[in-house]
Structure 1
Amino acid sequence: MTPAFPDAPERTGLGSTLNGVGAVVVGSFLVVDRVGAADGRLPAGVLVLGLVALAAWIVRSFLRPGRVADAAAVVMLVVGSALVTSTDALLITPAIVAIVAVAADLRHPRGVVVAFAATGFAIVTATSLLDSRSPSFLLACLGGLALGCVVGYNRRQNRVAEVTARKLLAREVEIEREQQHSALLADRARVARDIHDVLAHSLGGLVIQLDAVEALLENGRTDEAAARVTAARSLAADGLGEARRAVATLRDPALAAPAGGDPLDRPDAVDRLLETHRSLGGQVSASGLDALTALDAEHSRALAGVLREALSNARRHAPGAPVAVAATADAGRGTLRVTVSNPVGAGAGVAGATAGPAAAGPGAEDRAGGGQGLPGMRDRLAELGDGSRVAAGRRGDSFVVEAEVVVR
């Protein structure tokens, strides 16, 4: 939330002191003029009202902007303007100060400022005409009030610029925080996806291997069971390494690529995934994989991640079913399409990854892999930022994952 800033800055001690000194100086001239007036030129009533205007000036200089300060400014303007002729324009000073203060206060709309200043002009004009003062005297007094308007408007513009700059700065800080928060959420989502893929691949494979070990041991085929255990250990070690990398990324992005590298970054990542699938008892046929050499490391890694999740889904939802992996290049569009398909039985996967739009209704694709598989695939390709995409769904008796990546 953007913090609110005051429309007028807080008063400083120096400014209040200077205003107080100014009021005292004007008051001293006023009193001296009264004492030295042998002919009674300055009546006692004028002296009292003048001191009231100066007191309002002093009080206002030490008040925060508010109703009391506004009332003091009104007293300064009205009394000072009314006594202009009686004091030979000495009390025009508090009237000018009042106009400057009100005009510079952003709490007051411009219409109020104009009306306030016009009141001072009107009182000075009427007083001067009633006292039959010369036109030069009137013009000098009006010029002083006009000067107050100019100074006040200039201060107002400066404060507007200051408040605007502070609000822009606060907005920039807020945007930066939102960006950092979004980046943090994106990093967490990426780590959650990677952990999900690792668990689905490694733990799912371990379950299959251990089931096979149990069956082999029951049949007395200990040598084959031992080979399965060795394969399971290797699979578990790879999964543990990937999980550690994902956790390290969440804790410190600088630790995201420790020694050993990510298996998905290896040049033979696709071949290793296919071999792992076969070692877990799956059947997989591949065609056109030579076209994958056209991809750069970033696209190869993303595609390997999609393939890993697709094969994990096939083992989980269609165990033992043959899987077909095919890659085809479209030179005209500059894309490479990889499809992973496996047959599904009647009603298979309605609650899982094998449910396509035709079988499970709208949104079924988003529930693939328990709600994480397909979104994770989409995220991997979306992060490439070049229009690469993936879709999955049931086509006839098969569940098909189709990824299309841009060849750079």
Structure 2
Amino acid sequence: MNSQPAPSSLSIALHLLGVGVVLWSLTGEDRPLWVDILAYLAVGAWLVSSVGVRVVERLVPARQTNVGAEIGCALVATSAGGLASAGTSGLALVPAVIAVGAVIGTAEYPLLWGVFVGALGIVTVGVGAVVADISAISLLAMMGGIVIAALLGLSRRQTRISDDALKLLREREFAARDEARRVALARDLHDLLAHSLGGLVIQLDAVEALLESGKSDAAAERVGAARTLAAQGLGEARRAVAALRDPGIVGPDVDSAAVLADIEDLLAAHRSVGGIANLGSDGHTDRVPANHADIIRRTIQESLSNARKHASGSPVSIEVHWHDGLVSFTVTNPLSVGTALAASGGGHGLLGMRERFIALDNGSSLVAEEDSRIGKFRVTALLRMPGTAE
């Protein structure tokens, strides 16, 4: 059971004031002894539950013990106050009304408990009215006080439930945003490391082979290419860190020619580590949002990394088709030839590519699949621009 919000000092002070007013009003009247005993017992229960238990909660937050004390005090205040209400001109009804409203209004308690306490209050008020022989109008007025207290408690209960639900929703939204940021970070780190480190592994393997064969000049060229690849990876890492520090910064829109130039840079890096690739493109568009251009570049970058990893040295074919409001592209390479580097894959790259397209939530799609009939692995993507209907 969840704990209630901690009572404020003002709330405790108001309850103390109410207890004092009722006690002062009860003095000086000539009543049967049993009526006074029940009335003071009800006020005492009110004082214990509204002040004593609350103070103890602050000092010793033993929730289960407090629940028992609160419900016990509510039952005493309701039954004693209800029986004595007619004999005290309604004064003893005040603790009963407060007890009914408090139990029903506490969302942590089952509603059935509050219904029982409210019913107990009505029954005891009726019994007390019979003994004191008061008018029907007075009886109905006191029972109405119990009903009003129950309705106010129910309203308070619903408000608290709504507030708790809103708080839970906000916590879940925060958790979802945090999860999305974590996934995006993992995706970007994977792309950077797979592209840069994967290429460096290939280059260093080539350098080792060239040095063993005595081709130092060729090895030096490979070292230079590896240095260039490392510098590119460092630049990508800096851009990723900048985006994480200030995700609100969005680059300007570009055209299809600028996107193709970025793809050519990726192909140049791919060829520098011994890869073979060709690019075909048709169509043109003047507006490609920065995030869409980044998705295209990241997808092709990851596809090239996968090709180097699983089919090193095999030709890669890229076809890009620009349409009105969307772009489709396909990256094709031979199936895996079982290289040592391929064993390092965990499938995170393909998952990251799909997540980028799913996150757009505009009908964009990506399919990565093997076509054993022609011995090819193919990545096929359809990317819709903002405002384009499916």
Structure 1's unaligned 5+ residue stretches are 31-45, 85-90, 129-137, 259-264, 354-367
3-state secondary structure, aligned to 2:27: helix
2:221 matched to 1:239? no
Q: Which position in structure 2 is the counterpart of 1:338?
A: 329
What RMSD in Å do the two structures reach over aligned CA positions?
3.5
2 CA distance for matches of 1:115 and 1:204?
76
1 CA distance for matches of 2:210 and 2:379?
33
2:195 matched to 1:201? yes
Which one of the candidate residues 83, 86, 103 is aligned to 1:78? Answer: 83
Q: Which position in structure 1 is the counterpart of 2:109?
A: none
Q: Cα offset for 1:174?
A: 2.6
1 CA distance for matches of 2:101 and 2:143?
9
Count of equivalent residues: 348
2:287 matched to 1:309? no
Which one of the candidate residues 309, 318, 340 is aligned to 2:311? Answer: 318
Q: Which position in structure 2 is the counterpart of 1:48?
A: 33
2 CA distance for matches of 1:166 and 1:126?
39
2 CA distance for matches of 1:196 and 1:157?
58
2 CA distance for matches of 1:271 and 1:223?
27
Amino acid aligned to 1:389: S
TM-score (norm 2): 0.75
Q: Are the counterparts in 1 of residues 364 and 384 from structure 2 also a CA contact under 8 Å?
A: yes
2:165 matched to 1:168? no
2:263 matched to 1:278? no
Q: Cα offset for 1:312?
A: 0.9
2 CA distance for matches of 1:336 and 1:319?
28
2 CA distance for matches of 1:12 and 1:281?
79
Deviations 1:90-135 (A, max 9, x none): x33345435534543435544653453244335534653xxxxxxx
2:101 matched to 1:104? yes
Q: Cα offset for 1:75?
A: 3.1
Deviations 1:326-363 (A, max 9, x none): 123566xx542211111236x7589959xxxxxxxxxx
Amino acid aligned to 2:312: P
Instruction: Look at both structures and tell me which one has the larger radius of gyration over its CA atoms.
Output: 1
Identity of matched residues, % = 30
3-state secondary structure, aligned to 2:267: helix
Deviations 1:39-65 (A, max 9, x none): xxxxxxx64323323322432331214
Amino acid aligned to 2:352: G
Q: Cα offset for 1:310?
A: 0.6
2 CA distance for matches of 1:385 and 1:402?
17
Q: Are the counterparts in 2 of residues 338 and 404 from structure 1 also a CA contact under 8 Å?
A: yes
Deviations 1:212-264 (A, max 9, x none): 333444455444333322221111011122234445555x3469899xxxxxx
Q: Cα offset for 1:400?
A: 0.9
1 CA distance for matches of 2:249 and 2:77?
66
Amino acid aligned to 1:390: L
2:120 matched to 1:121? no
Q: Cα offset for 1:271?
A: 0.9
3-state secondary structure, aligned to 1:12: helix
Q: Which position in structure 1 is the counterpart of 2:184?
A: 190
Stretches (4+) displaced over 6 A: 8-11, 255-258
Q: Are the counterparts in 2 of residues 326 and 339 from structure 1 also a CA contact under 8 Å?
A: yes
2:20 matched to 1:29? no
2 CA distance for matches of 1:59 and 1:172?
37
Q: Are the counterparts in 2 of residues 307 and 340 from structure 1 also a CA contact under 8 Å?
A: yes
Q: Which position in structure 2 is the counterpart of 1:40?
A: none
Q: Are the counterparts in 2 of residues 287 and 326 from structure 1 also a CA contact under 8 Å?
A: yes
Q: Cα offset for 1:21?
A: 3.8
Q: Are the counterparts in 2 of residues 328 and 336 from structure 1 also a CA contact under 8 Å?
A: yes
Q: Which position in structure 1 is the counterpart of 2:56?
A: none
Q: Are the counterparts in 2 of residues 99 and 149 from structure 1 also a CA contact under 8 Å?
A: no
Structure 2's unaligned 5+ residue stretches are 50-69, 105-112, 252-257
TM-score (norm 1): 0.72
